[in-house]
Amino acid sequence: MRWDDVDAVLFDLDGVLTPTAAVHMRAWERMFTQYFAEHGITPPYTDADYFAHVDGKPRYDGVRATLASRGVVLPEGAPSDPPGTHTVCGLGNAKNALVNQLLAEEGVEPYPGSVRLVDELERRRVPTAVVSSSRNAPAVLEAAGLGHRFAVIVDGAVATAEHLAGKPAPDTFLHAARLLGVAPERAAVVEDAVSGVAAGRAGGFGLVVGVDRGAGPDVLLAAGADVVVHDLAELLREDR
């Protein structure tokens, strides 16, 4: 990587900086497996559903897309719906409660290779931001000891407040770039989700890095990634 050609780097959080994508994945699996079983919905939920319908998207969009894949339509409900209410928001809130339970039980450690890259960008004085669909992003960053490392955080709460469309729309990444005062073509997007890679490509960003945590290199490249790595430390090797 030639980091001198990049004026800012915009990171997704879950699956890029921290292994919390696995926590989200387990929470989705538990929630949908129970709901599908209770209501006789087939076929059963699998990891393929996560990557196809959920990964990287705002929570309620993930619920809606997964249900639609089974021909199921639920009332939208409201964000205040208690977890488990038979609405899109109620199911999404049930998933979020499971995430918080798992994080409290297990904690979170950032990927060492990702921390190395953040360290290097800080040394080079390259501004960085976190752009996450999750409303839990600030809490996860604090738990991982990374809360002070990013000049800008655009999470699900910011997206709602600013009326920004979620990934695969590029709006949240473009908002982060504006806050950093950097043109998209001079910024890099780092994403593990197909929807996030597509958002970076749609936003006209100068570089889109895919991190393969299970989606598959070919899938990420097809979605618009310029390069795919398995660990962000790989991006440091040729820049020494």
Tokens of 172: 């949240």
**Cβ(130)–Cβ(150) below 8 Å:** yes
**Cβ(85)–Cβ(77) below 8 Å:** yes
**Cβ(79)–Cβ(58) below 8 Å:** no
**Cβ(214)–Cβ(19) below 8 Å:** no
Please pick, among 7, 14, 171, 212, the residue that the annotation labels catalytic: 14
Q: What is the DSSP code (8-state) at residue 155?
A: -
Please pick, among 5, 7, 12, 218, the residue that the annotation labels catalytic: 12
Q: What is the DSSP code (8-state) at residue 14?
A: B
d(CA 97, CA 86): 15
**Cβ(133)–Cβ(156) below 8 Å:** yes
**12 given a catalytic annotation:** yes
Q: Which amino acid is at 73?
A: V
**14 given a catalytic annotation:** yes
Q: What is the DSSP code (8-state) at residue 232?
A: G
What are phi and psi for residue 186, nearest 5 degrees? -110, 10
By annotation, the residues acting in catalysis are 12, 14
